[in-house]
Amino acid sequence: MTPEIYLDGNATSPVLPAAIAAAVRAMEDCYGNPSSSHSTGLQAKALLDGARRRAVRLLGVGQGRLMFNSGATEGIQTAVLSALCALRERRQAGEAIGTLLVYGATEHKAVPEALAHWNRLLGLDLELRKLQVDSDGRHDLQALRALLPHTAMLCTMAANNETGVLSDIAGIEVLLDECASPAYWMVDCVQALGKFRLSLARSRIDYAPFSGHKLYAPKGIGMLYVREGAPFTPLIVGGGQEAAQRSGTENMAGVAALDAVLAALEQGGVFRSHDALCTFRERLAASLRRALPGVVFNAAFEHSLPTTLNFSVPGLSSKELMDVFDAAGVRVSSGSACSAAKAAPSYVLQAMGVPDWRAASAIRLSFGPLADEAAIARACERIERCGAALRASGLIAPDGSLPVQDGVQQLGSGGACSWLVHDAASRSCVVIDPQPEFMDRIAAQVRGQGCTVLAVLGTAPGMDLAAPGRALNVAYGAGDTFGWPAADGLLALGGQALRRVLVDADGAQQAVYLLGRPDAGALPQSAARHAFIGTLAPRQLDGLVHGDTLLCAASDAQQPFCSSLHASAPESGGSQGELHLDAAALQGLLRAHPDALLVDVRESHEHLVGVQAPQGGKVVSVPLGQLAGQIPEWMAAPVPLVFFCRSGNRSTRAAQCLRRLGYAQAYDLAGGLALAA
Ligand code: PLP
């Protein structure tokens, strides 16, 4: 396996070895309950008090409160609850309070969600108002000045988790100072801890939540600062722990671990200096520029944490970038929240007004202040390897020398599909059903391969073929309404040929294209290996194709990849037998069937970048887009096929497709390479 390079520090960090040791000590030797009055309890109490004293010193808490809790989400709830309870009391006492709850447009979701939740539960009925940010991601201070006289609570963050953008906390403070009755102010300090010095009691910040796991402590431990005199209402009551501010027996292993991290911060020499971190950022940025032509950084470095780089690359989706980085063992995160099927654009980048393509395709690379020279050098080397793999697979900067593979290629899955049929020897191809969303990709690929596009064909009448035809410099001109240039004959593609058949489908004519090896100038039904069927249903293909002809549709939402007249319905799951193999079952299968093939269905750049495969079998790379092209060969000489990918998602879909087509010995590696590690 490729050793991992972890560059997702803003999501969470690994745990500092000294913190692990401290947690283990707390569990083995100092396991008492700090509320117990016997000696074991007193030892635990001493640990807790010592940790608090250190945090108070380090964060400049002064006479304010500093309580341990489970993390920032809890701290945010406590801060919002405290401020809103005080506002309710003041209003009930007849005092005029602000009508707005103002939060930065790029806040972590915990903030607006907590404001809305407690506002509703407490029946305050104040108005939530987003404070816009400028193109650098910094708050619009003019707008804030206008809002502040009406603001009851203000929530801003010290540094943004997606972009690393630093807020102008001093500038906001000046505006609050100008107010006769300033709003309660929470500053989310989660991404600031350990990255710059905090002196909380010197500021007018009322509440500051922290999470230990963003700075090398474990998950489940955090802190909340509350300014001296700021209103406070406990979120959790019970046994009166933490001076009755946060009940529940303390998480002593977490406190000990966090204390070890804070000790490292206090003593110095463990975490890198700001200047060293800036140098690391420059080196990573230079590698990204070399590897990924046209890369755009989404936040200006001068206003950002040196440990966060948020970038987009023209022509590449965040999924493609994430996949290739992950295959290279580099863990980064998509700058946007991903649903299973589609990446939703990042609301943080949208708030900054970056173009849609950048908001939808951003990647966040973030490292921690423990990073060292060697790790950054390894990261740079891997980034450049990713760039080389993306170039080799034609996804970036193709130069006309990309290899052309014979056969059928599918673009898109789970919805609209376009199909390409290639002939390697003549470097020519035909495009079928050119869906607009794939045109840029098709054009880039064709350019990269130096391929001649013989025809652009549609299966349905009225499809726009002229614009794709022009974009692809179609060799035979526009053809008829379906783009067919070959009169009644065959369209030759090297040793293969396409035959067009017009079908009357409920009163409208549709075209079906049969692909196979012609015999004496004809392509009979029995020779059709593939049929491009547009939106026709199998019952409309009677007499046109044979039972095993692979049916390639204009949308594969119902039947992923391809089907056939013999195929079983998708919901039946195909032939019986266990589909998912765990590592032990895989080894058993490979012992019993040395001829079994391990099929990597990841994209070719993922395959190229890290030769990661389960041990013991012959490995071939067949990206999902080439599955339909490859299946007839497997059908002709069946051997057990074990599909694998990163997480088991893509491989399951591939194995299910084969099973539906009647291929009994198709399996997938359960959980993918991520679990095989
Ligand atoms: N605030 C910011 C800026 C964050 O980055 C996070 C975590 O991603 C949170 C709040 C929530 O922290 P936690 O999930 O540790 O409670």
Q: State the DSSP code for 654.
A: H
Is the pLDDT at 336 greater than 60? The verdict is no
Q: How many CB atoms lie within 10 A of CB 561?
A: 24
Q: Which is nearest to 67 in space by CA: 185, 189, 194, 241? A: 241
Phi/psi at 25 (nearest 5 deg)? -60, -40
What pLDDT band is residue 337 in, cutting at 50, 70 and 90?
very low
Percentage of the chain modeled with pLDDT above 90: 81
CA-proximal residue: ligand 1, atom 12 (nearest)? 72
Q: What angle do CA 668, 669, 671 make, to 5 degrees?
A: 120
Contact yes or no for 396/448 (Cβ under 8 A) = no
**How many Cα atoms sit within 13 Å of 166 on the Cβ side?**
16
Q: Which is nearest to 560 in space by CA: 629, 655, 670? A: 655
Q: What angle do CA 414, 419, 424 make, to 5 degrees?
A: 135
Distance 290 CA to ligand 1 centre (A): 32
Q: Which residues, including other chains, have CB under 8 Å from residue 365's CB and lie 6 or more apart?
A: 7, 8, 284, 288, 308, 309, 310, 311, 332
CA-proximal residue: ligand 1, atom 8 (nearest)? 11
What pLDDT band is residue 340 in, cutting at 50, 70 and 90?
very low
Q: Positive or negative, the Cα torsion across 484, 486, 490, 492?
A: negative
CA distance 156 to 584: 51
pLDDT value for 304: 97
The kind and range of the H/E element at 284 are: helix 274-291
Q: Are strands 308-312 and 207-211 parallel, antiparallel or unpaired?
A: unpaired
Is the pLDDT at 398 greater than 70? The verdict is no
CA distance 163 to 160: 6
Distances 638 to 262, 376, 475, 559, 596 between C-alpha atoms, Å: 61, 46, 38, 22, 9
* Ligand 1: nearest atom to the Cα of 160: 3
pLDDT value for 397: 63
Distance 190 CA to ligand 1 centre (A): 6
Mean pLDDT of all residues in 598-618: 84
> What distance lies between CA 613 and its chain's CA centroid?
23
Q: Are strands 308-312 and 363-366 parallel, antiparallel or unpaired?
A: antiparallel
pLDDT value for 341: 40
CA distance 319 to 137: 24
Question: The tokens 């939060």 sit on which residue?
Answer: 103
Which residue among 214, 235, 258 has the greatest number of ligand 1 atoms within 8 angstroms of its CB, and so is best to mutate? 214
> Which one has a higher pLDDT value, 576 or 381?
381
Bridge partner list, 451: none
Whether 338 is a known active-site residue: answer: yes
What pLDDT band is residue 126 in, cutting at 50, 70 and 90?
very high
CA distance 558 to 573: 13
Averaged pLDDT score across all residues of the chain: 93
pLDDT value for 227: 98
The kind and range of the H/E element at 639 are: none
Q: State the DSSP code for 252.
A: H
CA distance 117 to 164: 27
Q: State the DSSP code for 150.
A: G
pLDDT value for 569: 67
Instruction: Tell me the pLDDT tens digit for each residue of 170-205.
Output: 999 999 999 999 999 999 999 999 998 899 999 999
Instruction: Tell me the pLDDT tens digit for each residue of 501-552.
Output: 999 988 889 999 999 999 888 999 899 999 999 999 988 898 899 999 999 9
* Ligand 1: nearest atom to the Cα of 74: 16
Bridge partner list, 531: 514, 551
Mean pLDDT of all residues in 625-630: 96
pLDDT value for 568: 76
Distance 246 CA to ligand 1 centre (A): 19
Give residues (CB < 6 A) around ligand 1.
71-73, 108, 110, 157, 161, 188, 190-191, 211, 213
Instruction: Tell me the pLDDT tens digit for each residue of 293-304.
Output: 899 999 999 999
Distance 655 CA to ligand 1 centre (A): 38
* Ligand 1: nearest atom to the Cα of 107: 3
What pLDDT band is residue 675 in, cutting at 50, 70 and 90?
confident
Instruction: Tell me the pLDDT tens digit for each residue of 543-589.
Output: 899 999 999 999 999 889 999 998 876 555 544 568 999 989 999 99
Q: Which is nearest to 417 in space by CA: 323, 320, 515, 533? A: 533
* Single-letter residue type at 252: M
CA distance 264 to 541: 72
Distance 216 CA to ligand 1 centre (A): 14
Among the listed residues 338, 386, 417, 429, the single catalytic one is: 338
Q: Which is nearest to 526 in space by CA: 537, 538, 536, 514? A: 514
pLDDT value for 601: 96
Which residue among 80, 161, 334 has the greatest number of ligand 1 atoms within 8 angstroms of its CB, and so is best to mutate? 161
CA distance 563 to 305: 51
Specify the length of the chain in residues. 677
**Three-class secondary structure of residue 185 per DSSP:** strand
Q: What is the token pair recorded at 253?
A: 């292993």
* Single-letter residue type at 173: E
Q: Are strands 528-534 and 550-553 parallel, antiparallel or unpaired?
A: parallel
Distance 237 CA to ligand 1 centre (A): 23
Mean pLDDT of all residues in 50-79: 98
pLDDT value for 507: 84
CA distance 150 to 179: 10
Instruction: Provide the greatest CA pair distance for the chain.
Output: 98
Is the pLDDT at 248 greater than 60? The verdict is yes
Mean pLDDT of all residues in 588-593: 94
CA-proximal residue: ligand 1, atom 14 (nearest)? 73
pTM of the model: 0.85
Percentage of the chain modeled with pLDDT above 70: 96
pLDDT value for 677: 62
Q: Which is nearest to 609 in space by CA: 449, 404, 382? A: 382
Instruction: Tell me the pLDDT tens digit for each residue of 419-443.
Output: 999 999 999 999 999 999 999 889 9
Rg of the Cα trace of the chain? Answer: 30
Alpha-helix residue ranges (DSSP H) falling in 29-134: 39-59, 72-92, 110-121
pLDDT value for 308: 98
Bridge partner list, 420: 409, 431
* Ligand 1: nearest atom to the Cα of 71: 16
CA-proximal residue: ligand 1, atom 7 (nearest)? 11
Contact yes or no for 449/398 (Cβ under 8 A) = yes
Contact yes or no for 446/471 (Cβ under 8 A) = no
pLDDT value for 508: 87
Which residue among 107, 115, 187, 190 has the greatest number of ligand 1 atoms within 8 angstroms of its CB, and so is best to mutate? 190
Distance 606 CA to ligand 1 centre (A): 31
Q: Which is nearest to 270 in space by CA: 155, 370, 121, 382? A: 370
Phi/psi at 254 (nearest 5 deg)? -65, -45
Q: State the DSSP code for 567.
A: P
Which residue among 10, 103, 191, 211 has the greatest number of ligand 1 atoms within 8 angstroms of its CB, and so is best to mutate? 211
CA distance 250 to 258: 13
Is the pLDDT at 339 greater than 50? The verdict is no
What DSSP letter does each residue of 126-140 carry, written as one string?
A: PEEEEEPB-TTS-B-
Is the pLDDT at 491 greater than 60? The verdict is yes
pLDDT value for 135: 97
Distance 156 CA to ligand 1 centre (A): 13
CA distance 223 to 200: 13
Q: Are strands 418-423 and 407-411 parallel, antiparallel or unpaired?
A: antiparallel
* Ligand 1: nearest atom to the Cα of 214: 15
CA distance 470 to 455: 11
